Amino acid sequence: MVGVDMKLALRNVWLLRVVAGASVAHASKGIGAAAAPPHKCEIRQSAWCIFQGAAEVTDRFVQHTDYNHVWIVRGFFHPQTPLVVMEPNGCREERSDVLESLSYENGVKWQAKLWIRIRVRLKSDKSCDLEVLVPTFKSDPTGEAYFQGLALIQNCTDDICNGQSLAGIRGQYEKRWRAGQ
């Protein structure tokens, strides 16, 4: 039990670091602005990026009708339960102009496992709709992929990748994720 408590405590500390770093990019320059350094993109596309902070990021080129790249983002504590980002080619050109949650679907089968799929629109012309697969609560009860993984993905609205992290959409789905729905 102590090991699980320690992992949860470390996850929460790491999550605070991720959220604090992400909020620095949006903090005003006035009195009381956060002093933590901003996050840097580890992997950068025109419309989105993966922040530094993952244990491993892998890009797999695939031939599929809806997407051409599959990014696998593994955390430090549970590398066996990664977050998966399916990227269409439209995300490689022009900046993001929207961050809109499109859908949440439980029980999606991919690579002989069941996942939760969250679809997110990053471009209003519909050319960049990411599909993000997160492990179910049952397979990743500490939530490393759900909490930290989603916080590492951000849309890029300009050259320095200002935007919002997908952590902002977690709240609307967290109860369903925990309930396995």
Residue 92 near residue 45 (C-beta atoms within 8 A)? yes
Residue 99 near residue 120 (C-beta atoms within 8 A)? yes
Q: State pLDDT tens for residues 29-87.
A: 344 444 445 678 999 999 999 999 999 999 987 777 778 899 999 998 888 889 999 99
**Band of the pLDDT at 101, cuts 50, 70, 90?**
very high
Residue 72 confidence (pLDDT)? 94
Q: State pLDDT tens for residues 119-169.
A: 999 999 999 999 999 999 898 888 899 999 999 999 999 999 999 999 999
Distances (CA, A) of 27 to 19, 48, 102, 169: 12, 20, 27, 19
Q: In whole angstroms, give the CA distance from residue 46 to residue 10.
A: 32
103 pLDDT above the threshold of 60: yes
Bridge partners, residue 86, by sequence: 70, 131
Residue 46 corresponds to which tokens in the numbers above? 């025109």
- 3-class state of residue 83 by DSSP: strand
- Round the CA-based radius of gyration of the chain to a whole number and report it: 16
**Band of the pLDDT at 19, cuts 50, 70, 90?**
very low
Identify residue 108 by its one-letter amino acid code.
V
Residue 53 corresponds to which tokens in the numbers above? 């902070």
16 pLDDT above the threshold of 80: no
Residue 65 confidence (pLDDT)? 72
68 by Cβ neighbours in 10 Å (0-12 / 13-18 / 19+) ranks as middle
Model confidence, pTM: 0.77
Residue 1 confidence (pLDDT)? 47
**Band of the pLDDT at 21, cuts 50, 70, 90?**
very low
Q: In whole angstroms, give the CA distance from residue 134 to residue 84.
A: 7
Residue 158 confidence (pLDDT)? 94
- 3-class state of residue 29 by DSSP: coil
Q: In whole angstroms, give the CA distance from residue 63 to residue 175.
A: 34
Query: What are the b/e assignments for 11-21, b being 16+ CB within 10 Å?
Result: beebbeebeeb
